[in-house]
């Protein structure tokens, strides 16, 4: 069976080892990505630069501002006398939020009227304004309960929602980002490297010599991508290792199952690269097309942005990406510790993707020059 | 016994251009047959069709008794091919290239070792085995390319301008090897620009604008085109093309 697969595999391995650029892409990229995403990206925005206009200047108002600051979401950078200064600071971008305590705040509080505090946010950045808004609302809520309970002379509040964040109790960003990153890094490097593989031989003129031999299309293409399966597994191990020991991301589930599914995903990614290889004529085009493919993977797969929030059409588009399905497997196994009974759908889809992509690429490739 | 190569009205068009027009050739076993003609005369296209790299638009061709159009893959075990542009791996050593092509041509174990050393000996590559191909001169690259094309002992050998950019001494060695192979029964189809090389062929086909315009021994071809020597004939052709 496929007697010319091994010579092809060995050749590809020798060349891979000697190609600086490929080695850099395969080792440097994962590390840089991991550190970038792992350290830089935090989905819960804290320390929003905030300016304060305290018109009442009373102990009550200072107490309110302090409790807003204590949430950790606001970092008070300046106190102003007038609202104009506050607006200007936000407009300039020196601050992203502003707190205005009106002069009648303590008086209304004392009389039992509704006292107001104004929180202004720069919603040009929705992520940070969101966290400012919920922090402000939270503070108000707590205050309300205190005051109402006191007036009603109750020992406890009438209702409390007890939220239990399962699988990521500390709501830590790395737990969300790092498992997804395994899939993103594999997609990025493997698609890119294999997309260039066939075109490079075409450009260098070595393909012409190769296709006048009896090697079959299947032997040629499988031999070409096979060494990168090993590369993918090594990359994944490295990311999991750093994730575990640098970012303290838990590894709850069955590791063997994780690697088995990863194998399917790796083959699917390589198949996609190979398909690109059959669609383009130059390495330049291959790189462009690979990036064109990688972008929707990052945006639509659920790696950073929740898929439920997307319009239906884009949710469907997301289903066409192997990464979308692999992410569920990664988070499922790493964070929730679930098994095949919960993930069989994703596994089936990934198996179908890998078979289909390889088969289509082999079909598309012709052992001729035109 | 059938001819080594036989074509019937072999034609190839690229969009509006007809690169090869109704070519009829019969090349016998053990012949060193030259394809001669200016650039764009259809030599490379002809060789590529005979190797199964390009499909003929019309007509047919048999190589080593096999139909090019219906079974291009079967032909590939029976032909050796040296492309115009060097087609081996520059980032691998001489041995690694030989090993790779040996494996691709299905040589295994002891048979591979024996055959590899025989070819290395025949081509005289012994001293260069560990060298990276990128560091080799044009002459050595050409020898390596010939070695790789011979590993599976093909009955038919296609050489597309094999000596372009190679120094005269290396060219002489190369032709010595070609004659040795022909004596052992290998059929060689070679394209060339050099008149002295064309003179060395048993027979020649002169092509111009995709057409066969003269066929025979070098002297016959010269006479058919209307020149005293092959070189005259070639110049006459080129001038005719430029009109």
SS in 3 state form for A38-105? Answer: HHHCCCCCCCEEEEEEECCCCHHHHHHHHHHHHCCCEEEEEEECCHHHHHHHHHHCCCCEEEEECCCH
The answer to whether residue A79 is domain-embedded is yes
The answer to whether residue A7 is domain-embedded is no
Range B121-129 average pLDDT: 92
**Inter-chain CB proximity B104 and A18 less than 8 Å:** no
The answer to whether residue A199 is domain-embedded is yes
Residue B238 is predicted with a pLDDT of 77
- Chain B residues touching residue A370 (CB < 8 angstroms): 14, 54-55
Do A95 and A205 share a domain, yes or no? no
Q: Which residues pair with A121 in a beta bridge?
A: A97
Question: Of A95, A120, A152, which residue constitutes the final position of a domain?
Answer: A152
Q: Do residues B200 and B212 make contact, with C-beta atoms less than 8 angstroms apart? A: no
- How far away is chain B from the Cα of A30, in angstroms, using its nearest Cα? 26
- Chain A residues touching residue B14 (CB < 8 angstroms): 370
What's the sign of the alpha-carbon dihedral A219, A220, A226, A227?
positive
ipTM for the predicted complex comes to 0.92
- How far away is chain A from the Cα of B51, in angstroms, using its nearest Cα? 7
Range A340-353 average pLDDT: 95
**Length of chain A as a residue count:** 370
pLDDT in tens, A77-109: 999 998 999 999 999 989 999 999 999 999 998
Q: Do residues B119 and B98 make contact, with C-beta atoms less than 8 angstroms apart? A: yes
B223 touches chain A (CB under 8 A): no
The answer to whether residue A3 is domain-embedded is no
Range B86-98 average pLDDT: 96
Q: How far apart are the first and last CA of chain A?
A: 29
Do A130 and A176 share a domain, yes or no? no
Do A91 and A235 share a domain, yes or no? no
Do A218 and A337 share a domain, yes or no? yes
Distance of CA A363 to the CA centre of its chain: 34
Residue A44 is predicted with a pLDDT of 67
Range B96-102 average pLDDT: 97
Predicted confidence (pLDDT) at residue A43 exceeds the cutoff of 70 = no
Under the banding of pLDDT at 50, 70 and 90, the label for residue A168 is confident
Do A146 and A176 share a domain, yes or no? no
Residue A144 is predicted with a pLDDT of 86
Q: Which residues pair with A100 in a beta bridge?
A: A53, A118
Q: Which of A184, A200, A199 is nearest to A243 (CA)?
A: A184
Do A33 and A69 share a domain, yes or no? no
Treating both helix axes as pointing N-terminal to C-terminal, what angle do A255-279 and A173-204 enclose, rounded to 10 degrees? 40
Q: What is the CATH number for A93?
A: 3.40.1710.10
CA gap A77, A68 in Å, rounded: 13
Q: Which of B15, B45, B76, B104 to mutate to test the interface with A (most CBs of A within 10 A)?
A: B104
The answer to whether residue A4 is domain-embedded is no
Range B82-103 average pLDDT: 95
Q: Do residues B89 and B148 make contact, with C-beta atoms less than 8 angstroms apart? A: no
Under the banding of pLDDT at 50, 70 and 90, the label for residue A160 is confident
Q: Which of A260, A258, A259, A292 is nearest to A273 (CA)?
A: A292
Do A224 and A299 share a domain, yes or no? yes
Residue of A18, A209, A214 with shortest CB distance to B77: A214
Question: Of A152, A186, A210, which residue constitutes the final position of a domain?
Answer: A152
Put simply, the chain A residues between 16 and 45 with a CB less than 8 A from any chain B CB are: 18-19
- Chain A residues touching residue B55 (CB < 8 angstroms): 368, 370
B86 phi, psi to nearest 5 deg: -55, 125
Q: Which residues pair with B158 in a beta bridge?
A: B81, B189
Predicted confidence (pLDDT) at residue B122 exceeds the cutoff of 90 = yes
- Any idea which of A52-61, A170-179, A259-268 has the lowest mean pLDDT? A170-179
CA gap B92, A15 in Å, rounded: 7
**Inter-chain CB proximity A209 and B83 less than 8 Å:** yes
Question: Of A96, A120, A152, which residue constitutes the final position of a domain?
Answer: A152
Q: What single DSSP character describes residue A336? A: I
| Domain total in chain A | 2
Q: Which residue does chain B place closest to A202, by CA atoms?
A: B87
B211 touches chain A (CB under 8 A): no
Residue B166 is predicted with a pLDDT of 85
CA gap A3, A6 in Å, rounded: 7
CA gap A326, A341 in Å, rounded: 15
Residue of B52, B92, B104 with shortest CB distance to A215: B104
Put simply, the chain B residues between 166 and 205 with a CB less than 8 A from any chain A CB are: none
Residue B243 is predicted with a pLDDT of 58
Do A121 and A246 share a domain, yes or no? no
Longest dimension (CA), chain A: 94
Do A82 and A205 share a domain, yes or no? no
Q: Which residues pair with B23 in a beta bridge?
A: B10
The answer to whether residue A35 is domain-embedded is yes
Under the banding of pLDDT at 50, 70 and 90, the label for residue B231 is confident
Put simply, the chain B residues between 70 and 89 with a CB less than 8 A from any chain A CB are: 72-73, 76-77, 79, 81, 83, 85-89
Do A122 and A195 share a domain, yes or no? no
Under the banding of pLDDT at 50, 70 and 90, the label for residue B1 is low
Do A215 and A350 share a domain, yes or no? yes
Q: What token pair was written down for A366?
A: 């012709």
CA gap A361, A277 in Å, rounded: 8
- Chain B residues touching residue A2 (CB < 8 angstroms): none
- Under 8 Å CB pairs connecting chains A and B tally to 82
Domain of A62, in residue numbers: 48-152
Tell me if residue B206 falls in helix, strand or coil: strand
The answer to whether residue A329 is domain-embedded is yes
Longest dimension (CA), chain B: 59
Decide the pairing of beta strands A118-121 and A97-101: antiparallel
Do A191 and A286 share a domain, yes or no? yes
Predicted TM-score (pTM) of the model is 0.85
B220 phi, psi to nearest 5 deg: -65, -40
CA gap B102, B118 in Å, rounded: 12
Q: Which residue does chain B place closest to A368, by CA atoms?
A: B53
The answer to whether residue A216 is domain-embedded is yes
Q: Mean pLDDT of all residues in chain B?
A: 92
Residue B160 is predicted with a pLDDT of 93
């Amino acid at each position: 069976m496929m007697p010319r697969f091994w010579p092809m595999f060995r050749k590809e391995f020798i060349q891979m080892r000697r190609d600086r650029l490929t080695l850099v892409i395969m080792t440097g990229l994962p590390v840089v990505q991991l550190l970038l995403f792992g350290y830089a990206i935090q989905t819960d925005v804290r320390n929003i630069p905030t300016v304060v206009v305290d018109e009442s200047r009373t102990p009550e108002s200072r107490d309110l501002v302090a409790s807003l600051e204590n949430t950790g979401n606001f970092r008070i950078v300046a106190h102003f006398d007038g609202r104009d200064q506050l607006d200007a600071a936000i407009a300039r971008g020196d601050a992203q939020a502003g707190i205005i305590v009106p002069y009648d705040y303590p008086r209304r509080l004392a009389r039992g009227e509704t006292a107001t505090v104004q929180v202004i946010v720069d919603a040009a950045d929705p992520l940070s304004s969101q966290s400012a808004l919920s922090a402000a609302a939270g503070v108000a809520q707590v205050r309300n309960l205190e005051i109402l309970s006191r007036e009603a002379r109750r020992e406890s509040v009438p209702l409390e929602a007890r939220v239990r964040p399962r699988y990521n109790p500390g709501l830590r960003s790395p737990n969300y980002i790092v498992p997804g990153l395994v899939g993103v890094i594999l997609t990025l490097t493997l698609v890119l490297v294999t997309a260039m593989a066939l075109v490079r031989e075409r450009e260098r003129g070595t393909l012409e010599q190769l296709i006048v031999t009896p090697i079959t299309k299947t032997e040629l293409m499988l031999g070409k991508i096979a060494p990168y399966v090993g590369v993918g597994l090594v990359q994944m191990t490295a990311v999991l290792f750093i994730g575990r020991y640098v970012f303290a991301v838990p590894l709850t589930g069955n590791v063997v199952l994780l690697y088995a599914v990863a194998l399917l995903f790796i083959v699917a990614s390589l198949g996609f690269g190979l398909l690109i290889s059959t669609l383009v004529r130059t390495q330049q085009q291959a790189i462009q097309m690979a990036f064109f493919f990688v972008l929707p993977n990052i945006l639509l797969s659920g790696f950073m942005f929740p898929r439920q929030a997307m319009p239906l059409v884009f949710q469907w588009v997301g289903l066409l990406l192997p990464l979308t399905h692999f992410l569920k497997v990664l988070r499922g196994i790493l964070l929730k510790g679930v098994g095949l009974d919960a993930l069989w759908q994703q596994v089936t889809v990934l198996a179908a993707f890998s078979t289909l992509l390889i088969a289509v690429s082999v079909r598309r490739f012709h052992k001729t020059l035109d | 016994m059938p001819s080594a190569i036989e074509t019937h009205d072999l034609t190839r068009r690229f969009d509006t251009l007809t690169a090869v027009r109704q070519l009829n050739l019969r090349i016998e076993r053990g012949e060193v047959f030259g394809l001669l003609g200016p650039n764009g005369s259809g030599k490379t296209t002809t060789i590529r069709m005979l190797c199964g790299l390009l499909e003929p638009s019309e007509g047919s061709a048999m190589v080593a008794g096999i139909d090019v159009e219906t079974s291009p893959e079967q032909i590939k075990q029976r032909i050796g091919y040296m492309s115009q542009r060097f087609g081996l791996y520059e980032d691998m050593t001489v041995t690694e290239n030989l090993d790779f092509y040996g494996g691709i041509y299905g040589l295994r174990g002891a048979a591979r070792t024996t055959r590899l050393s025989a070819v290395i000996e025949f081509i005289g590559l012994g001293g260069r085995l560990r060298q990276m191909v990128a560091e080799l001169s044009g002459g050595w690259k050409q020898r390596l390319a010939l070695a790789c094309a011979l590993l599976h002992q093909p009955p038919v050998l296609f050489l597309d301008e094999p000596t372009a950019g190679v120094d005269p001494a290396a060219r002489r060695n190369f032709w010595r090897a070609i004659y040795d192979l022909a004596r052992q029964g290998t059929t060689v189809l070679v394209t060339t620009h050099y008149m002295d090389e064309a003179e060395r062929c048993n027979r020649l086909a002169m092509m111009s604008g995709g057409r066969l315009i003269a066929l025979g021994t070098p002297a016959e071809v010269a006479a058919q085109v209307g020149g005293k020597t092959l070189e005259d004939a070639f110049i006459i052709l080129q001038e005719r093309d430029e009109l």
